């Protein structure tokens, strides 16, 4: 019989302690809805009264299946729970659950608060009792619990017992500075339970300062704790909190957790995990971490030639779970370590069926290798790879030829005396023997100069004769530049991502010592790939 | 008495399996030197024969204190170790240690290789014996060991025993698909040791597919394994390998590991950890992960108001280690006292003594903050930071003003019919009221076009009037470009590194939507900094 394990999300509170993160109220609402759809049990929405957006969030808080929880701290000494205005602001948020942080480490009680242990115990008990008296659910976050337990176990336990005796549903053991390693967390949780505090009243709250927050949470669960606190994408103060985006699939899919426990997240909701993770990155305007467990774009990318060919026979050989279960996809990138079978799969993905043993395969691999030595990289530029392969297979169409271009960047004082920059590009292409000359300045919607690559792109797209319709619905969405080694010289590698109106997204690469040349090469590949796709 | 624990770095081999990563030979050499200075015991340099840059690396391999190791695979069936050309290429790299991967999972032996278990065992034994017969140290990477052990423990152990009996120094237990959780790793390693394989012959190689690679390695060490494999910054296939950048400080600083074990990394070298981590990111042109354990820029950033004020009283309250021990720094919100004392230290580094309480300190902090919001980054551009501070302190000298510039890049057919590119820049500067106009084409020693930034740099340096002598001995040594967010728009951030004849090296930053503009800004800062230094 599987035991129930509760998930407590604190993305909106501890997650907001991440350096550079400040959610708006609207963003908090979006995240809360996504968390609820995922199936967490608790959503900690923030600290009402401490932060205007947090107060506003609780006023507009959505109806959720998850228990909406307000965060605050235990009442101060020398004042009653009823008269503590900080606590009152938390109570006034009107949530069904309230989580209060308080001290459980003797040193912090005496040095930071400057009160006696007995006073601190009373603050905990009175605060919890005040919540319970109003018919709300109370949780007690035992700050610095593990460090406190190591220096004064009796008092650390006393603080927890006081909260439970006053009616707290949960006592959450917090590793506040993130320094406790998983083995020690497991041992201490087991000792706490042996000391008489039931595991189904214990939560675990870890931080990732030693890159073991997930493992520390799992160790606490194995030792008997039944509530796990964490954040989406591991957001949080310093190195972040335990990552629920990792813990959820581990608890739902992996032995022994999947057999021992039941969580509120359904398998159907799990297939939205990648989407939820990306949504958060989008709100934060962060580049998603490619290597993230389960949800990263590289999490199921098989680069080694040996691996890639085994994957083709049986995906389970190099994958611990099926990527689709979490909404992710398998990637077999091109690289100079890939073998021919890997290559044929890549070609098939591009709609190019090539027989096993076709000599073109060897030529394609050789050319990829040679170009990678020059500084090209096809891992992230599948469209350029396809064009290269098509040339070797005799299936390339050029559509148009670039005859020449010229781009000028100028910085000078304008008539008003302020310094402005302007970029202008001229491009000459030949289509069916006829030359077309186009010119364009670079500017965004507000008329600001966006530089030479933008000018070239605009000039190229201005008139492409009979292919114009095809490129009108394509636009550049990302542009990456790195200086790399090509042979013996430093060269610039440019990778361009484009999208079109049909929802396609593709990437191309260009390499040259001249950054404008490298960009132009990637741009031309991007347009040719689009023309091939549209030609069908 | 502390037991010796060995660190085996595979950044250059398994780390290169990271999607999008392809080191050049020069980059491999730089990384190997940094690893050696850090104090790892083994450096796995690559797979000679499988990859041209790997072969080139071993030809040029530096003399290291660490054991340089070549990676390969066990000999194929039906061929002797002496006649296996894949193995021969590995042997020919001439390293003192050789690590061969082979199968230890019955399913993979039978399904992937299509041979019998006995044949596989013989392949392992013969390959290892061949290495040992040549007086080299042999390591055996037991691929899929944990999955193999779970499905057929007898054969998994037989494969390991065969390698040891043939003379292998180490058998490395690999969790190849990254699916085994720490608790299970610990249990299985203990069982392997109980089955008679000594722990001081066992290595552990984990992957981060469940975000527990570090914890899995620690569990194996606690169970008795004495070699830990991993990579810098956790590079590696899919979600990466165990992160040595995390494991090293944990093993050296944290209980119980620090007391139980001795590793080859000295505390003095540990203070270079942040620098090594950043160097790798710089080579890969990756944005360093702010939240990385120990080395991330946010790892000791205290945002919560409660935490920040406690930190001022006693840093140990919210920090599990002293950040300086790993070469990191504490970050506390700019507005408070601690922010200002950090700033004064940084200014003193630049030779600018500023009194405590000087109102310029607040202005400098505000301006740094505002510019970082626009996309600037002063972490890697100390010279630009110094110029900004000098302006607020009234200690800036401009020397010259840039009036205007124009740069043109052209690509066309030359007289011989081949396509060539050319870049030309015109720059106008005013010195002491007199305007100087310079023009230059871009070209390297062989006359090849190096692009618009090079052309601008050459034009600027061509005539700087009375300051000419000062800039004649400076040259640009590196140029990094990143697309980043400035306010709401994507902008280009350029960082330029320069050197002069006096051996100084300095870095400057420029930001603009226009890459040429951003480069020009960084160039001008670089020249001004040099003129200030030469003025003394």
CB proximity list for A460: less than 8 A, separation 6 or greater: A427, A429, A438, A523, A524, A527
Q: Is the dihedral of CA B227, B232, B234, B238 positive or negative?
A: negative
Do B229 and B182 lie in a common domain? yes
| Inter-chain CB proximity B515 and A515 less than 8 Å | yes
Residue A52: count other Cβ atoms within 10 Å of its Cβ. 10
Closest CA to B426 of B412, B411, B441: B441
Do B159 and B196 lie in a common domain? yes
pLDDT digits 0-9 by tens, B259-282 = 999 999 999 999 999 999 999 988
Minimum-distance CB partner of A411 among B239, B302, B404 = B404
* B505-512: strand order across its sheet: B474-486, B489-500, B505-512
- A478 phi and psi angles, rounded to 5 deg: -155, 155
Considering only CA atoms, give the Rg of chain A: 29
What confidence category does residue A501 fall into, taking pLDDT thresholds of 50, 70 and 90?
A: confident
Domain count, chain B: 3
Do B64 and B101 lie in a common domain? yes
CB proximity list for B480: less than 8 A, separation 6 or greater: A482, A483, B282, B285, B494, B495, B496, B497
Distance CA B524, CA B396 (A): 14
Helix (DSSP H) and strand (DSSP E) numbers for chain A:
20, 16
Do B179 and B227 lie in a common domain? yes
Token pair belonging to B535: 């003025």
Residue A300, domain member (yes or no)? no
CA distance B536 to chain A (A): 31
Do B206 and B171 lie in a common domain? yes
Residue B304: what pLDDT?
Answer: 60
CA distance B211 to chain A (A): 6
Do B389 and B444 lie in a common domain? no
Residue B67, domain member (yes or no)? yes
What value does the mean pLDDT take over residues B11-38?
Answer: 93
What confidence category does residue B96 fall into, taking pLDDT thresholds of 50, 70 and 90?
A: very high
Residue A179, domain member (yes or no)? yes
Distance CA A472, CA A476 (A): 12
CB proximity list for B359: less than 8 A, separation 6 or greater: none
Minimum-distance CB partner of B239 among A234, A292, A405 = A292
Do B390 and B420 lie in a common domain? no
pLDDT at residue B487 tops 60 = no
Residue B483: what pLDDT?
Answer: 75
Q: Where are the alpha helices (DSSP H) in A134-181?
A: 145-151, 153-165
For an interface test with B, the pick among A176, A293, A305, A341 (most B C-beta atoms closer than 10 Å) comes out as A293
Distance CA B88, CA A134 (A): 78
Among B219, B238, B265, which residue terminates a domain? B265
Burial B149-180 (b: 16+ CB within 10 A, else e): beebeebbbbbbbbbbebbbbbbbbbbbbbbb
Among B460, B482, B506, which residue terminates a domain? B460
What confidence category does residue A331 fall into, taking pLDDT thresholds of 50, 70 and 90?
A: confident
Token pair belonging to B253: 């600083």
Residue B292, domain member (yes or no)? no
Residue A77: what pLDDT?
Answer: 93
Percentage of residues of chain B with pLDDT beyond 70: 96
Residue B333: what pLDDT?
Answer: 54
Distance CA B185, CA B206 (A): 9
- Give the H/E segment covering residue B163: helix B153-165
Q: Is the dihedral of CA B458, B464, B467, B469 positive or negative?
A: positive
Residue B368, domain member (yes or no)? yes
Distance CA A529, CA A514 (A): 23
Distance CA B201, CA B138 (A): 11
Nearest-by-CA chain B residue for A251: B210
Distance CA B300, CA B322 (A): 9
| Inter-chain CB proximity A303 and B18 less than 8 Å | yes
Per DSSP bridges, beta strands A261-262 and A3-4 are: parallel
| Inter-chain CB proximity A483 and B111 less than 8 Å | no
| Inter-chain CB proximity A289 and B285 less than 8 Å | no
With 0-12 CB in 10 A as exposed, 13-18 as middle and 19+ as buried, what is A509? buried
Residue B185, domain member (yes or no)? yes
Do B229 and B256 lie in a common domain? yes
Q: Where are the alpha helices (DSSP H) in B401-477?
A: 452-462, 468-472
With 0-12 CB in 10 A as exposed, 13-18 as middle and 19+ as buried, what is B300? buried
Residue B361, domain member (yes or no)? yes
Residues of chain B contacting A405 with CB distance shorter than 8 Å: 410-411
Closest CA to B121 of B138, B103, B134: B103
pLDDT digits 0-9 by tens, A1-20 = 799 999 999 999 999 888 77
Distance CA B77, CA A266 (A): 47
| Inter-chain CB proximity A182 and B182 less than 8 Å | yes
Closest CA to A397 of A532, A247, A204: A532
CATH number at B383 reads 3.30.160.340
For an interface test with A, the pick among B331, B372, B411 (most A C-beta atoms closer than 10 Å) comes out as B411
DSSP assignment of B203-257 = EEE-B-TTS-HHHHHHHHHHHT--EEEEBGGG--STT-B-BHHHHHHHHHHSTTH
| Inter-chain CB proximity B517 and A453 less than 8 Å | no
Nearest-by-CA chain A residue for B482: A481
Residue A272: what pLDDT?
Answer: 94
pLDDT digits 0-9 by tens, A421-436 = 999 999 999 999 999 9
- pTM, entire model: 0.77
DSSP assignment of A3-31 = EE-EEEE-TTTGGGGSTT----HHHHHHH
Do B373 and B413 lie in a common domain? no
Minimum-distance CB partner of B406 among A183, A410, A442 = A410
Residue B90: what pLDDT?
Answer: 97
CA-to-CA dists, residue B530 to A359, B437, B455, B462, B467, angstroms: 57, 21, 20, 16, 10
CB of A176 within 8 A of CB of A143?
yes
Strand spans (E) along A285-400:
none
Residue A215: count other Cβ atoms within 10 Å of its Cβ. 30
Q: Which domain holds residue B482?
A: 355-397+464-536
Residues of chain B contacting A294 with CB distance shorter than 8 Å: 209-210
For an interface test with B, the pick among A411, A492, A522 (most B C-beta atoms closer than 10 Å) comes out as A411
pLDDT at residue A313 tops 80 = no
Among A463, A480, A508, which residue terminates a domain? A463
Do B157 and B24 lie in a common domain? yes
pLDDT at residue A389 tops 80 = yes
- Give the H/E segment covering residue B38: helix B25-38
Residues of chain A contacting B255 with CB distance shorter than 8 Å: 184
Do B405 and B371 lie in a common domain? no
With 0-12 CB in 10 A as exposed, 13-18 as middle and 19+ as buried, what is B86? middle
Nearest-by-CA chain B residue for A310: B112
Burial B448-487 (b: 16+ CB within 10 A, else e): ebbbbbbbbbbbbbbbbeebeebbeebebeebbbbebebe
Residue B335: what pLDDT?
Answer: 44
What confidence category does residue B485 fall into, taking pLDDT thresholds of 50, 70 and 90?
A: low
| Inter-chain CB proximity A452 and B222 less than 8 Å | no
Distance CA A355, CA A361 (A): 9
Minimum-distance CB partner of B209 among A303, A320, A379 = A320
With 0-12 CB in 10 A as exposed, 13-18 as middle and 19+ as buried, what is B88? middle
Residue A409, domain member (yes or no)? yes
Distance CA B115, CA A261 (A): 40
Residue B332: what pLDDT?
Answer: 66
CB proximity list for B225: less than 8 A, separation 6 or greater: B173, B189, B199, B202, B203, B204
Q: Which of the two residues, A27 and B246, has the higher pLDDT score?
A: B246
Query: Is the complex ipTM more than 0.90?
Result: no
Distance CA B80, CA B453 (A): 56
CATH number at A205 reads 3.20.20.70
| Inter-chain CB proximity A451 and B513 less than 8 Å | yes
Percentage of residues of chain B with pLDDT beyond 90: 70
pLDDT digits 0-9 by tens, A108-122 = 999 888 999 999 999
Residues of chain B contacting A297 with CB distance shorter than 8 Å: 19
pLDDT at residue A90 tops 60 = yes
Distance CA B535, CA B527 (A): 12
Do B19 and B131 lie in a common domain? yes
pLDDT digits 0-9 by tens, B190-227 = 999 999 999 999 999 999 999 999 999 999 999 999 99
For an interface test with B, the pick among A214, A409, A423, A459 (most B C-beta atoms closer than 10 Å) comes out as A409
Nearest-by-CA chain B residue for A179: B320
What value does the mean pLDDT take over residues B11-15?
Answer: 97
- Give the distance between the most distant pair of CA atoms in chain B: 87
- Give the distance between the most distant pair of CA atoms in chain A: 92
Nearest-by-CA chain A residue for B304: A17
CB of A25 within 8 A of CB of A53?
yes
Closest CA to A525 of A390, A432, A392, A404: A390
CB of B235 within 8 A of CB of B23?
no
């Amino acid at each position: 019989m599987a035991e129930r394990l509760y998930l407590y999300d604190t993305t909106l509170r501890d997650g907001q302690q991440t350096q550079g993160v400040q959610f708006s109220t609207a963003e908090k609402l979006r995240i809360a809805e996504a968390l609820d759809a995922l199936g967490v049990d608790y959503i900690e929405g923030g600290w009402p009264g401490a932060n205007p957006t947090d107060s506003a969030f609780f006023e507009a808080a959505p109806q959720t299946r998850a228990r909406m929880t307000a965060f605050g701290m235990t009442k101060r000494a020398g004042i009653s729970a009823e008269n503590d205005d900080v606590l009152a602001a938390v109570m006034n948020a009107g949530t069904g659950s309230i989580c209060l942080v308080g001290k459980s480490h003797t040193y912090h009680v005496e040095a930071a608060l400057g009160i006696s242990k007995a006073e601190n115990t009373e603050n905990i008990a009175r605060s919890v009792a005040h919540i319970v008296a109003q018919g709300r659910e109370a949780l007690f976050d035992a700050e610095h619990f593990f460090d406190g337990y190591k220096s004064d176990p009796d008092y650390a336990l006393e603080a927890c017992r006081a909260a439970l005796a006053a009616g707290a549903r949960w006592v959450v053991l917090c590793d506040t500075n993130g320094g406790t390693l998983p083995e020690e967390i497991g041992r201490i949780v087991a000792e706490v339970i042996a000391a008489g505090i039931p595991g189904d009243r214990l939560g675990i709250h870890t931080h990732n300062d030693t890159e073991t927050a997930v493992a520390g949470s799992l160790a606490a669960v194995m030792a008997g704790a039944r509530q796990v606190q964490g954040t989406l994408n591991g957001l949080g103060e310093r190195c972040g909190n335990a990552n629920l985006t990792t813990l959820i699939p581990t608890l739902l899919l992996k032995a022994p957790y999947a057999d021992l426990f039941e969580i509120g997240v359904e398998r159907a909701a799990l297939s939205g995990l990648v989407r939820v993770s990306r949504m958060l990155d989008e709100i934060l305007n962060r580049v998603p971490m490619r290597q993230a467990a389960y949800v990263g774009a590289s999490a199921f990318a098989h680069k080694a030639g040996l691996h890639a060919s085994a994957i083709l026979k049986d995906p389970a050989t190099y994958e611990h779970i099926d990527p689709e279960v979490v909404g992710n996809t398998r990637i077999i990138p091109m690289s100079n370590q890939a073998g021919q079978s890997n290559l044929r799969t890549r070609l098939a993905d591009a709609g190019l069926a090539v027989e096993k043993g076709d000599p073109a395969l060897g030529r394609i691999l050789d050319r990829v290798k040679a170009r990678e030595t020059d500084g090209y990289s096809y891992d992230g530029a599948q469209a350029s790879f396809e064009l290269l392969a098509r040339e070797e297979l005799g299936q390339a169409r050029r559509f148009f030829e670039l005859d020449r271009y010229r781009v000028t960047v100028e910085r000078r004082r304008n008539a008003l005396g302020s310094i402005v920059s302007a970029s202008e590009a001229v491009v000459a292409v030949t289509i069916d023997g006829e030359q077309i000359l186009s010119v364009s300045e670079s500017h965004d919607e507000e008329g600001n100069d966006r530089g030479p690559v933008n000018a070239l792109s605009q000039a190229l797209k201005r008139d492409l004769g009979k292919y114009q319709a095809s490129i009108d619905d394509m636009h550049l969405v990302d542009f990456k530049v790195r200086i790399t080694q090509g042979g013996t010289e430093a060269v610039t590698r440019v990778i361009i991502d484009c999208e079109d109106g049909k929802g396609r997204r593709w990437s191309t690469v260009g390499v040259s010592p001249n950054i404008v040349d490298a960009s132009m090469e990637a741009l031309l590949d991007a347009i040719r790939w689009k023309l091939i796709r549209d030609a069908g």
